[in-house]
Structure formats: C-alpha cells, structure tokens
Amino acid sequence: MRVGIVNVTGYAGAELARILGRHPGVELAEVTGRSAAGQPLGAVFPHLASLGLTIQAELENVDFAFSALPHHTSAEVIPGLLKGGLRVVDISGDFRLKDPESYRRWYGIQHPAPELLQEAVYGLPELHGAQIPAARLISNPGCYPTSAILGLAPLVTRADREFIVDSKSGISGAGRTMKLNVNHYCEVNESVMAYGLEGHRHQPEIAQELEELLFRATSERGVDVTFIPHIVPMTRGILSTCYARLKEEMTQAQLLELYREFYAGQPFVRVVDSAPQSKHAWGSNLCIIHPRTRGDGKVVVVSCIDNLVKGAAGQAVHNMNLMLGFRPDMGLESLPVYP
C-alpha cells in the first residue's frame, strides 16, 4: 500500500513522515509541500533524510493519503483526492464539525465542501472504532479535544452535563508559522498564556462528541462545555484538567473501575493511579488519564497526550491501521521518551 502526505512541511506532516517511514505495513511513497517542492525531504527536515524522498508539488501515484494542510485549504483539496479513488485521513479541522453553520461561525469562512461533512467519520478510535474501518474520509480530532474528550467520556452519563476543561499545550501545537505571541521564543519563554477566553473552535468539537456520546446512551442531548486553552513554554505535550460534578457519589476505587472498564481493550489509553505529567506521554501515542474523586461530589480528571502523536500524526496512523485492517498499534508501539 503506497501512502502519501499532502503538506509534509508542517510539524504534523513531519511527524507523520517519521512514523510512516518505519511502518511495516505501508510504503511512504510520496510527500508534497508546494513551498518546498523539488527539495529533498532531508534538506527541510534533516532527521528524515534517510527516507530518501523528494518533496513534490502534488501526489501522483499513491493508494492512500493524509492531508496535513491548514483548515479551509484541506477541504478544497480533499474532494479531488476522494474522486481519484483515495481514502483520506484529514488532520485539519475542516471536517470535525458536522454543522456547516457551526463551521462558518468558528472558522470564519463558508465550508468549501459541506456535502462531505456528514460522511466524514470523527477519527477518535476509542469512541468511533466501529465506523472507521469502512470510511473513506476520516476527520482526525484536534489535539486539545482528544485529551478532553477521552478524559470526560466515561463521565457523560454519570455526571451533571456541565464540564470545565483547562488545557495547557506545548508550543508546537501552534504550528511552524511564526506568530509573535504564540511561538516567538522571547514572548513565550518563562511565561504561560491563556487565550480563546471569548470562545475557541475546539469547544464545539468537544461538546459535539460528548453530546453524541450522551445521545447514544440516553437519547438525550444538551452538554455545556467551558474550554480554556493555555500555551506553556515546552515543545510537546498537552495536559488537560477536567472538572465535573457526579450525579451520585462514587469512591475512588469505583471511579477508577469505571474508567478502566470504559477503556478496556483500548491499546492507547492508560488509566493510572496518580496524576500523570505531560512528559509521561512524550513521543508516544498514549493518552494517560487519572480521574480523582474529591469526596464532595466533584471529580477532577487529568489527561495528557503528546500533541503531535496522539493529538495528530499517531492518531492519524491509528485510523489508517483500522481502515486498512492492520493491528491498531502497528507502527505505533514506541514507548514514551523520558526524560
């Protein structure tokens, strides 16, 4: 199976190339990046030089594609890939929200391909694993939503429907394009910045998935999510602290059992006995979760991932594995890097 990456020159695209370059079930055959077309991949990313690829302007001869283009641009390109018979995993936000009006509100533009919104499967395997194998278009979840949704999903029917998510991300989550107060060293070093206080496009994504999970279990809707992201001066990682109020009090042992039963058989979710640190997931496709009951009806859940792996490229490869009938963890077996 020959696979290709559209726009390898961003952080997520480069991470895809790193993982796919050693995947035993596929051949990373082509990568594109219009601004760097014609250059060896190793000239742009020296750590990928051994893959021996040259960056092209367009994909020409592949069987499966990943799109790592920015939002809006990705939705303009993907219809052509699908018409060409390719199955696609999209890492952008273009197909995550099912409602085109919601997309217009949060992304500031009309959706370029609204006819594909209902077809696209939200690629969180722990919740949509049954739908992914037959899909031709997967919308890879956002990095913040991955940590938040997995942290809160087991509580959807056990807690009040109001959730608070406080998330902190490494600077790579903002991408390679220079933005003064987001990834300029002098601005972000030794500082923590909250943003999106007036609303953030990942909030409706989190709410959409939690509400869908609630509807499947109870035929009811209505979830209230408050989401506040922060940037912290580290390269990789997301740590989300999520808050909820239980309908009925649970002991700590019962809460841990609830989470472990919910994620039983999921190779990339680990429910642990103490709060994880972001570095515990660094370089891996793991989501590490610790739920804690406070004895007053409130629950605090700490959830951490590597934003470029489980939050982007690793999850995309997990989706590909399910689509192509491989083991879910094929090519993703690496343990976290520490320290």
Catalytic positions = 143
Query: Quick one: tokens of 174?
Result: 């903002």
Burial of 166 (0-12, 13-18, 19+ CB in 10 A): middle
What does the alpha-carbon distance between residue 121 and residue 248 come to, in Å, rounded to a whole number? 33
Provide the 8-state DSSP code for 311: I
Determine how β-strand 87-90 pairs with β-strand 64-67: parallel
What does the alpha-carbon distance between residue 92 and residue 143 come to, in Å, rounded to a whole number? 11
CA distances from 188 to 179, 194, 237, 244, 311 (A): 11, 11, 15, 30, 21
3-state secondary structure of 302: strand
First vs last C-alpha separation in the chain: 35
Number of Cβ within a 10 Å radius of residue 250: 19
In the 3-class helix/strand/coil scheme, how is 73-114 assigned residue by residue? HHHHHHHHHHHCCCEEEECCCCCCCCCHHHHHHHHCCCCCCH
CA distances from 249 to 154, 159, 255, 291 (A): 15, 10, 10, 14
